[in-house]
Amino acid sequence: MQSLLDISPRLINIHQAVAYSGESRATLYKEWKMGNLKFVKMGGSTRIEIDELDRYIDAKIAVAA
């Protein structure tokens, strides 16, 4: 049985998304405003689903290829 510490988070904060994607915070917010990236508001914090960030990165790679 897995403990909760062994499970990867489904949602990450902006700081973690910057580290994960290599994009700047400003770029992530710009992409959100343009509709290219979806954020989730939880209380007063902004989160991004890992799957959404992976989709965004894959789309960027496909355009560059």
Residue 45: count of CB within 10 angstroms of its CB: 10
What's the confidence (pLDDT) of residue 65?
A: 77
Helix H or strand E segment including 19? helix 14-21
- Provide the whole-model pTM: 0.81
Strand order in the sheet with 11-13: 11-13, 45-49, 40-42
Q: Which two tokens stand for residue 44?
A: 């007063």
Question: Tell me: the pLDDT tens digits for 1-60?
Answer: 555 556 778 899 999 999 999 999 999 999 999 999 999 998 899 999 999 999 999 999
- Provide the pLDDT for residue 34: 96
Q: Tell me if 17 sits within 8 A of 32, measured CB to CB.
A: no
